[in-house]
Amino acid sequence: MNKKQIAKHLILVGIFTLITVFVIVSLESYRNLIKEKTEVGKDLNLDPIDPKMETDVLDEIETRKEYSFEEIKTISTPIPSPTTAPGQTETAPGEEDTASTPSGEQTDE
């Protein structure tokens, strides 16, 4: 393909794109024009603002304990994970689980 053919193809693609965009915008505008209009109602969850300041909340905020970085590090120590797999029961050292076979199935004894 030479440059003239490529230019013609690009012009055709541009024209088809322009027509497509025009049709889509026209259809959306027409749909919005025909669509039934909805009334905007008052939201029942909106409450009027109370101008009275609640000082008990401010007092509660002031009495909260502030933690230092070192205290936070000691509080947030990791919790050790369990050593048994899910579905297994933990047995004490020296005890043997005689009620089940090594595959985990119950025996009829």
Distance of CA 35 to the CA centre of its chain: 33
Q: Which residues of 60-73 are buried (b: 16+ CB within 10 A; e: fewer)?
A: eeeeeeeeeeeeee
Identify which of 88, 82, 83, 84 has the alpha carbon closest to the alpha carbon of residue 103: 88
With respect to residue 29, please indicate whether it lies within any of the assigned structural domains. Answer: yes
With respect to residue 8, please indicate whether it lies within any of the assigned structural domains. Answer: yes
With respect to residue 87, please indicate whether it lies within any of the assigned structural domains. Answer: no
With respect to residue 3, please indicate whether it lies within any of the assigned structural domains. Answer: yes
Q: Structurally, how many domains does the chain consist of?
A: 1
With respect to residue 107, please indicate whether it lies within any of the assigned structural domains. Answer: no
**Range of the structural domain that residue 1 is part of:** 1-34
Task: Report how far residue 67's alpha carbon sits from residue 75's, in angstroms, rounded to the nearest whole number.
Answer: 10
What is the per-residue pLDDT across 17-59, written as a single tens digit (0 to 9) for each?
Answer: 999 999 999 999 999 999 888 777 777 777 777 777 778 888 8
Structure tokens at 38: 């909805």
pTM: 0.35
